[in-house]
Amino acid sequence: MRSATALPLVDSATLGGLLAPLVYIHTCASMLQTLPLLSLFVAGLVVLYLGAEGTLRGAVSIAVQMGISRLVIGLTLVAFGTSCPELSLDITAAVRGTTDLAFGDLIGSNIANVGLILGTAAIVRPLRVQIRLLRAEVPIAIAASLVVLAVALDGTISRQDGLFMSALFVLFIGYSYRAAAQESARIREELKGAAEPQLSYGRGALYVVIGLVALVVGAQLMIYSAVRIAELLGVSTLIIGLTVVAIGTSLPELATSIVAAQRNEADIIVGNVIGSNIFNLLLIMALVAVICPVPVHAGSLRVELPVMIIYVAALVPIMLRGRVITRAEGAVLAAGYAAFLLWQVAMMALT
């Protein structure tokens, strides 16, 4: 009777060496598959921002011609315009049940607002804030961040939490209007100037309708491509939201802030950052939670939410003394954001 031939044993190192090329090929194939999806993501981003611009221009023109105070419009509609893309994208994500993507986008956008946008703008030109309202809004932005952390500690931002945050947002709008009325005449005119009508009533309504359609279409394209990219790369939609989606929704605002810095319009830059952070948390996160409760992972409680709070707390010098945010301080903010992105990339590699 012939004895069975023993199979040669292969140690783990040798096996790893044999499999490495296959893993590399699989990774490259996955990356190539993401290229069309990235193109679709960019297309959705462009459509989303064109829709936001059209909706904002139309809504401002209609509101002015309806006799609504231009000061109110400057504080609400125009400030809301910077968060309009996030609103459309994240509400759509909530309706589709991809709340991880919405949560990641909102937290990632708030971090990018301070680290990427404010940091880069300060590098271009040191920023000095003149409007008292903005200094007063800094503690509100910090409080809003702490509220989100507090309601997330149990692992879920519930519908009740969303309703509570929405009530705080209404109070914030009321406070902003009263505070703006106490600003100097020059500042009040600056706020009103942002609400100059540019369209007739009919054209304004058409812009709103077309803009809203574009917002929905752009959001659908971005969400579909972002979820598919996450599936192909084997990473969570939370990480994609914190990085790709958050940066994507911040790029147009980054370009606007760089131009504003060159024109020495620090109030506009800081106002957009603070206002956007408050809108993102007390309005958009609240609406997302009302539509679909948002699960919050333990990792977000340890990393992303504390990072967001640290960044918004970096605005405290503006609140205390209204001093200049120097180029060096801007570089620290931007470097910190780069480190945050590297951490997220490392998390992708480990998943």
Residue 326 lies in a domain: yes
Task: In whole angstroms, give the CA distance from residue 290 to residue 169.
Answer: 14
Task: In whole angstroms, give the CA distance from residue 241 to residue 247.
Answer: 9
Number of domain units in the chain: 1
Residue 7 DSSP one-character state: P
Residue 322 lies in a domain: yes
Task: In whole angstroms, give the CA distance from residue 41 to residue 219.
Answer: 9
Instruction: From 326, 301, 310, 322, select the one nearest 151 (Cα to Cα).
Output: 301
308 pLDDT band, cuts 50/70/90, is: very high
- Taking the CA atoms of 189, 190, 193 and 195 in sequence, report the sign of the dihedral they define: negative
Domain span including residue 147 = 32-350
49 or 350, which is more confident: 49
- What are the backbone dihedrals phi and psi of residue 126, each rounded to the nearest 5 degrees, phi first? -55, 140
Residue 6 DSSP one-character state: P
Residue 128 lies in a domain: yes
Residue 65 lies in a domain: yes
pLDDT digits (tens, 9 = 90+) for 162-176: 999 999 999 988 887
Residues 6+ apart with CB under 8 A from 251: 45
Residue 19 lies in a domain: no
pLDDT digits (tens, 9 = 90+) for 258-270: 877 887 877 778 8
Q: Two tokens at 224?
A: 């579909």
What pLDDT shows up at residue 7? Answer: 47
Task: In whole angstroms, give the CA distance from residue 277 to residue 267.
Answer: 15
What pLDDT shows up at residue 267? Answer: 73
Cβ contact 227:32 at 8 Å: no
What pLDDT shows up at residue 188? Answer: 55
Residue 168 lies in a domain: yes
271 or 228, which is more confident: 228
187 pLDDT band, cuts 50/70/90, is: low
CATH number at residue 153: 1.20.1420.30
Per mean pLDDT, which of 67-81, 129-143, 228-242, 302-316 is the most reliable?
A: 302-316
**DSSP H helical ranges for 157-234:** 159-181, 185-193, 201-233
Residue 12 lies in a domain: no
Over the chain, what is the mean pLDDT? 81
Cα separation values, 256 from 121, 272, 280, 289, 307, Å:
10, 10, 19, 30, 25
Average pLDDT over residues 85-112: 92
Residue 185 lies in a domain: yes
Cα separation values, 307 from 121, 256, 260, 296, 297, Å:
20, 25, 26, 15, 15
